[in-house]
Structures are given as C-alpha cells and as structure tokens.
Amino acid sequence: MTFDRRHILSMKDFTRNEIDFILERAVKLETLAKGGRSDLLAGNILALLFYEPSTRTRMSFETAMLRLGGSVLNLGSKEASSVVKGETLADTIRVISTYSDAIVLRHPSEGSARMAAEYALVPIINGGDGAGHHPTQTLLDLYTIKKESHLDNLDIAIVGDLKYGRTVHSLAYALSLYGANITLVSPPQLKMPDQIKGDLKTMGARVSETENLDEVLDSVDVLYMTRIQKERFPDPTEYNKVVGAYKITGEHLDNVREDMIIMHPLPRVYEIDSSVDDSAHARYFEQSFYGVPIRMALLTIVLGVEV
Ligand code: NCD
C-alpha cells in the first residue's frame, strides 16, 4: 500500500483497506507503545502546531514520536509565537515545513488542515479542525472497537454533541465503511449536520436518530459518549440549555448487554459519572492509550518507513 507523504485530513479520504492497513500496523507497534524505544524514525522531526487546547492528541503524538526514536518540535502557546503578531497560518506552515518532516495541526477553523496542506512541503496531520474532522481520533476509536468489541455488524449509539463534535463526524464516516448500524442520540439543537447525514446516506450507511438514550441503551454493542462542545457555542445561554443532556451513571448499566462497552474521546465533563469507571463496560482510558500505537502507525506510514 502506498501512503508515502500523504496528508491525513479527513476520514472521507480513506478506503476501508487503507484503514485496515493502519489498524494492522498499530497491532504490530502496540508492545513498543507500552514501553521502550526503537530507532524506526530516528532523524525525523515532528512539529506540533496546536492553536487549541489538547492533552491526549498532543501528548500521544509526542509519546509516539519519542518511542520511535524521532524528535518533536512544539509551537508552544499562540502567545509565545508569531501568531500574536498576526502571521497567517499559510506563512507559519510554509516556514515550519522547512524545519520538520511532518506537522500535526489543531486549529479552531473548519477546513484549516486542508488549507494548510496546500502550503505544506511535508505531510499535514489534522489533529482537529474546529467542528470539522478529527481523523486520528477516529482511527484510535476504530482500533478500540476492534480490540474491545467487534467492527463487523456493529450496533453503536453515538451520543451528545453531534453538531459541533468533530470526533463523531469523522467516526460516522468511517463506521459507514464497515456497515455499522448507527444510532445518533442528541438534543434537537445538536443534531448531526444534514450535509454529513446526506453523505452517510449516499455511502449506504444504516443511520437513525433519536433524542432518547434509554431507547437504545439495552441493545447496543458500543455506547460512544461525547462532551457538549462549550467553546463552539456562539451564545452561552444556548449551551446552558443542553449541558448535562445525557449522563451515564452506574444505574444505567443494569439492563445493558453484558459485553457492551462505553467509549469517550475525553475530556469528559458531565457525561459519565465516575461510578462507571470501575464497571466492566468502561473502556475510555484504554481508548486514550490506544492513541499511542495508532499514532505510531500513522507516523511510520506518512514518513514512509516500513515496520
Ligand atoms: C476531542 C477533541 O478535541 O475534539 N478530544 C480529543 O482529541 N480527545 C473531544 C473533545 O474535546 O470533546
């Protein structure tokens, strides 16, 4: 499979074969992800350009690069860089391209990663573009589902902020390639955008919508919870109307399938009570760890290194 120097911008750009290839490579790298160091990417530099807060995406990319023997260059805060002087993203990308071998970009504007790719001399990896896409999160989500549940004939409820949540936009596209049965659960104000639903339909996806989580709780294999994306609401009073719309507590787990797993891209705020953490269903911390082998796999792929 030829992936060399390819940008990672949106799950819309991927075939199922390509996704399977990445997931298989992550399996090979999982032991190394747990500890140790190789020299697979020695001499390579990964630049991290994060214009929005991040814990997992930024640090798991950094861990992935270090475990592979590469180095990391960090833009740091916007305040510490020329971004505050008014430098455009295009100029920043042009310059950082000459300092690094690949760039991970997180930016508040939808479409920013695709725009950056036009100016970049090295692969751009989209670490989240506003309310748009978050493809590397989706790859680790798929890896989690494959390891902790099953990707074939999957029944999944995707719950919460489906309007502004970029992780669920990417996830829905990818799951459609696997023929999953997807139930979208959200308040009416936070439904999945029509354009994405239209695309999913065209792809032949099995998608339904409801506001009522209880309707689907006892039948799904995977419960994918998300945070209401407070920072994307133009009006804080609108956020206050939906905050806390869905919250999973230990009591919800009485009638669920024995092998049902609960996932969340994290950070969680109100969506999952800490009493759920010790249940046999919780997988969100395993999920965040799987970001390391997946990002190791992606880095070797975009930098053209065989494993
Ligand atoms: C998500 C994001 O940034 O979109 N976080 C992450 O990358 N794990 C989800 C969120 O912020 O709610």
Residues 249 and 275: beta-carbon distance below 8 Å: yes
In a shared domain, residues 206 and 98: no
Inside any domain, residue 1: no
In a shared domain, residues 37 and 117: yes
Longest dimension (CA), the chain: 56
In a shared domain, residues 65 and 99: yes
In a shared domain, residues 169 and 63: no
CA 78 to ligand 1 center in whole angstroms: 19
In a shared domain, residues 101 and 212: no
Question: Is 98 among the catalytic positions?
Answer: no
Q: Which residue has the tokens 């905050």?
A: 243
Q: Which of 233, 171, 159, 162 lies closest to 194, judged by CA?
A: 162
In a shared domain, residues 111 and 175: no
Give the model confidence (pLDDT) of 53-78 as tens digits: 999 999 999 999 999 999 999 988 77
Report the nearest atom of ligand 1 relative to the CA of 134: 4
Query: What totals of helices (H) and strands (E) does the chain contain, helices first?
Result: 10, 9
Length of the chain: 307
Which of 62, 133, 134 maximizes ligand 1 atoms within 8 Å of its Cβ, making it the mutation to test the pocket? 134
| Domain region containing 75 | 11-132+291-302
Give the model confidence (pLDDT) of 138-192 as tens digits: 999 999 999 999 999 999 999 999 999 999 999 999 999 999 999 999 999 999 9
Residues 195 and 169: beta-carbon distance below 8 Å: no
Phi, psi of 189 (to 5 degrees): -70, -15
In a shared domain, residues 86 and 154: no
Give the model confidence (pLDDT) of 75-103 as tens digits: 887 777 777 788 899 999 999 999 999 99
DSSP string, 107-135: ESSTTHHHHHHHH-SS-EEEEEETTS--H
Band (5; pLDDT cuts 50, 70, 90): low
* The total number of structural domains that make up the chain: 2
Band (237; pLDDT cuts 50, 70, 90): very high
In a shared domain, residues 101 and 173: no
Find the CATH number of the domain harbouring 169. 3.40.50.1370
Predicted pLDDT of residue 2: 63
